[in-house]
Structure 1
Amino acid sequence: MSEETAWRRVTVSETQALLQQPDLLIFDVRDADSFAAGRIGGARHLSGANLEHVLLRTPKSQPVLIYCYHGNASQIYAQMFRDFGFKTVYGLIDGYEGWRAAVTEPVPRNLSPALREWLSEHGFPPDDIEATRDNRMTPLMHACRLGDKAIVDALLEAGASLEPLNSDGNNALWLACYSESLDIIDRLIEHGIAIDHQNENGATCLMYAASTGKTAVVARLLAAGADPNIRNVDDFTALDMAANLDCLNLLRAATR
């Protein structure tokens, strides 16, 4: 893509090749419910609520892929990114619907009777580990919130995705931090969950833990490599939000 080119439209097969780039940012500009129901792996939801934050805080050198339903709305967003100075911008030609039609669906999972029973007891279909209920909570998020490590392990073994976000824009790691389940936090990080994911307010799990005085969680996240220098939409870092002296000292040490 030359400097003169505004942005480039790509096919599904070209997109599959682009996904091998570790620094590629993927933005889904469909509505929140469609995003929750299914998306390209690693995609972040982009809307009017977080657009300005993304445009201002994302390095212009990072390649960006944008997709919508059928490839129309993404063209507007792609041009916006280019106008804002982003060097490499792609738009998926036929959108998510084209992607879904072309990409083979995963093989159905063989779930254990115990996991099926747990799913049913907690309001999820017994054969769907990616289903959502209130607040777009997935089974993995719910198990993390409950601090149920055995179920978290079972869900991860069954292939539960680490990508989904609830209606607040938080991933499963946030819910594990809520329950202060250090073993679950470790397990999610081992499986590659985005430790520095920012929700639509720009808040990370580290910010949340610091602001609620969860000292052990702050220590565990920092030890795992969480970035203490990230700023939210109000320009605050986790250090600015520290709710107690222990969290403050941990974050000061991490930012020296």
Structure 2
Amino acid sequence: MAIADRTPYQCLSVTEAASLIRVEKDIKVFDVRDLQSYQQEHLDGAMHLTEDRLPLWLNRIEKDVPVLVYCYHGNSSKTFAQMFADFRFERVYSVDGGYRPLANALAEPVAGQEIRRGLVDTELEAFLKEWNFDPIELNAPREHGLTPLMRAALQGQREIARKLLDRGVNIQARNDDGNNALWLACVSRNEGLVQDLIDAGIELNNRNDASSTALMYTASSDRPELTRLLLEAGADPQVKNFDDMRAVDLAASVACLKLLRHTL
């Protein structure tokens, strides 16, 4: 694409970006810092983005949905913003100043406007109470080392999981068996929930205490729809467990075997 044909993106100050996030209900916010920094802290609802995952989003977001990108200081975010703009997204923004100043701006009270994190959610409140979770510390584990996100994943409660993801819970936490929420969402067979966790940047190749991955689980439990989803997201089919077996060696059905045949 010629430079002259490029759709421009817009650079925003952190104050402008904070205002946009507050008023645009459907805005997609992307964090393009390294995964470790994202896992340590990020804006509520922000999704981790790397260049290799960009094509997934280009095909998933409508062109008229506003897209906002932030990084450490406002440099790398411009590169990603231009990529979205090159694909004719109509409203693309890069944040000058980066994550920390933007987080500080969002934390400041706004007269006459409720901050999203402060809103009372009766459905989430009821879920936390039902499972005896701490309503303040949303990463605190309970029975079997399950956090609220893990419990929601295991029960297949996608909307509850989304509410927790929006509140920036730790998606990389592991339970007493070493499984993360992705494995538990695969147990519930909720494809939408699995996709939400993938989009949020959960570790696809997490190995539990038996050195097994979610891909191994879906293959061995005859869940071809989830096996396909994990492979398309980039799960590594070559990982081996303690018995020196890969997902293809554990495949419980012809459907799963066909999906993994390229690894034979």
TM-score (norm 2): 0.53
Match of 2:129 in 1: 115
**Alpha-carbon distance between aligned partners in 2 of 1:251 and 1:58, rounded to the nearest angstrom:** 28
Identity of aligned residues (%): 12
1:131 aligns with 2:135: no
CA pair 161-227 structure 1, distance change in 2 beyond 3 A: closer
Alpha-carbon contact 2:185-2:193 (below 8 Å) kept: no
Q: Identify the match of residue 252 of structure 1 among 236, 248, 258.
A: 258
Tell me the residue number matched to 2:47: 43
Q: Which letter maps to 2:132?
A: W
Change (3 A) 1:36 1:242: same
Equivalent residue for 2:95, pick from 85, 92, 95: 92
* TM-score normalised according to structure 1 size: 0.54
Structure 1 partner of 2:183: 174
Preserved CA contact (<8 Å) 1:211 1:241? yes
Partner of 1:59: 55
Cross-structure match for 2:89? none
Helix, strand or coil: the match of 1:97?
helix
Measured in 2, the distance between the counterparts of 1:141 and 1:157 equals: 6
* Cα deviation digits, residues 3-60 of structure 1 (max 9, x gap): 5787522323334566625xx461163885775556231422x6xxxxxxx2244239
Please tell me whether the aligned partners of residues 131 and 139 of structure 1 are also in contact (alpha carbons under 8 angstroms).
yes
State how far apart, in whole Å, the 1-side matches of 2:54 and 2:75 are. Answer: 18
Residues 228-243 of structure 1 mapped to structure 2, 5 A cutoff? 228-232=231-235, 241-243=247-249
- Alignment of 1:75 with 2:87, yes or no, is no
Q: 2:161 & 2:204 partners in 1: Cα distance?
A: 30
SS at match of 2:249: coil
Structure 1 match to 2:226: 221
* Rounded Cα–Cα distance in structure 2 between residues aligned with 1:57 and 1:193: 13
Amino acid at match of 1:9: C
CA distance in 1, matches of 2:25, 2:204: 24
Q: How does 1:131-210 map to 2 (within 5 A)?
A: 131-132=139-140, 139-143=147-151, 147=154, 149=155, 156=160, 160-161=164-165, 164-167=169-172, 172-177=181-186, 180=187, 182=188, 185-186=189-190, 189=191, 194=196, 196-197=198-199, 199=201, 203=205, 208-210=213-215
Give the conservation status (yes or no) of the 8 Å contact 1:66–1:91: yes
Pair 1:175–1:235, CA change in 2 (3 A) = closer
Contact kept? 1:209, 1:218, Cα under 8 Å: no
Does the 8 Å contact 1:142/1:175 carry over to 2?
yes
Q: Matched residue of 1:194: which SS? A: helix
CA apart distance, 1:104: 0.9
Q: Is the 8 A contact 1:219 1:250 kept in 2?
A: yes
Q: Which amino acid aligns with 1:98?
A: A
Report how many aligned residue pairs link the two structures: 215
Structure 2 stretches lacking a partner, 5+ long: 86-91, 240-245
